Amino acid sequence: MRIGYLSWMFGLAVSLSVAAGRASAEAEFQSFLTPSSDGVPIAVTVGGNPDGPELLFIHGYMSSTLNWTKQLESSLAQTHKLVAVDVRGHGSSGKPWESTAYASTQLFADDVAAAIEAAGLSNAVIVTWSAGGLFALDYLRHYGSDKIAGIIFSSSAVGLLPQPPPAPPTPEYQARIERSRSVNLPTIVEWTRGFIDFMGKDTELSPADMELLRTSAILVPHHVRRFMRDRPLDNTDLVSELDLPMLFLAGDQHNSFTSGDLAKAAALFEQAELRTYPGLGSMVNFHAPDEFNADVLAFAGRVQAKKGG
């Protein structure tokens, strides 16, 4: 099974069924659009066991529902209701041209809330990757955790630790930033390939997997790449407010933060657990899906039973 979308660049309505590969019982997935609070269409994919415990997958920056292929195509679909959302600017969702459409945590919270409402979730475990943790915390900031049993932060400390003042940008760094925002199509393709190569450098991927990840990233247009850099990243004010089970996951060779940072973030919360994967880096869910899925399954089983879902 390869999860497909129609009309990638314009976020047109999609409704399709796909078979969940590697699952003994077929599980159908439906993808559709639902409006966020400001009318931006948000793409939601729902499938798996409709009566099973709920898992909500939220992608990171320069990614989409495609990045959860190895979860949606797994045996998780036999036992769990699986939901994935593309936040604004990504995947099949709308991509507004106004910078204000990406500046507010409220709007990203509303995107996630729209997906939760459309999918009928009431006791979900949120599974995030990288900046997806920021989008999940946006939701918790503005909507609370009544419909959430727990949250998994994969490859991110999600702004929970105080950050030192940034170093003055060098000319080389500024040039890389400008290339990431370029409107020149060959530059966009080149930069996107480099971004995926960097994020996946710890483990070799098949050509098909690499192409899937590059496709997912290139769906984020230049104006979204520019505007997303201005959204708030600091969630230190939420530390005293968050009171739900958490699981922090990451490879010990992550290229954006250290395992020590992740341990510090997990230590902030009484109900937090930490799991690291030796020899892996940023995309554990893609590079070690069987281990990752087993950890998701075990965590969700514990916290959803405790909450009563």
Tell which residue, 86, 66, 22, has the closest CA to residue 48: 22
The structure tokens listed for 120 are 């009928």
The continuous run of DSSP H or E covering 172 comes out as: helix 171-180
- Number of structural domains (the chain) is 1
CB 151 within 8 A of CB 176: no
Rounded to whole angstroms, how far apart are CA atoms 99 and 88?
12
Predicted local confidence at residue 24, as pLDDT: 34
Is pLDDT above 80 for 65? Answer: yes
Percent of the chain with pLDDT over 70: 88
CB 20 within 8 A of CB 27: yes
Task: Say if 264 falls within a structural domain.
Answer: yes
Task: Say if 210 falls within a structural domain.
Answer: no
Task: Say if 77 falls within a structural domain.
Answer: yes
Task: Say if 52 falls within a structural domain.
Answer: yes
Predicted local confidence at residue 255, as pLDDT: 63
pLDDT band at 4 (very low <50, low <70, confident <90, very high): very low
Rounded to whole angstroms, how far apart are CA atoms 299 and 246?
9
Task: Say if 165 falls within a structural domain.
Answer: no
Rounded to whole angstroms, how far apart are CA atoms 111 and 217?
19
Task: Say if 200 falls within a structural domain.
Answer: no
Is pLDDT above 50 for 194? Answer: yes
Task: Say if 73 falls within a structural domain.
Answer: yes
Domain hosting 257: range is 8-160+231-307
What amino acid occupies position 78? Q
Tell which residue, 1, 79, 90, 75, has the closest CA to residue 44: 90
Which segment, 13-17, 101-105, 161-165, is predicted with the most confidence on average? Answer: 101-105
The continuous run of DSSP H or E covering 139 comes out as: helix 132-143
Is pLDDT above 70 for 169? Answer: yes
Task: Look up the CATH number of the domain holding residue 285.
Answer: 3.40.50.1820
Q: What is the pTM of this model?
A: 0.89
Percent of the chain with pLDDT over 90: 65
Torsion of CA 198, 169, 258, 273, to 10 degrees: -100
Predicted local confidence at residue 15, as pLDDT: 32
Tell which residue, 301, 227, 306, has the closest CA to residue 52: 301
Q: Which residues pair with 81 in a beta bridge?
A: 48, 54
Q: Which residue has the higher pLDDT, 201 or 43?
A: 43
The structure tokens listed for 22 are 């590697």
Task: Say if 219 falls within a structural domain.
Answer: no
Q: What is the mean pLDDT of the chain?
A: 87
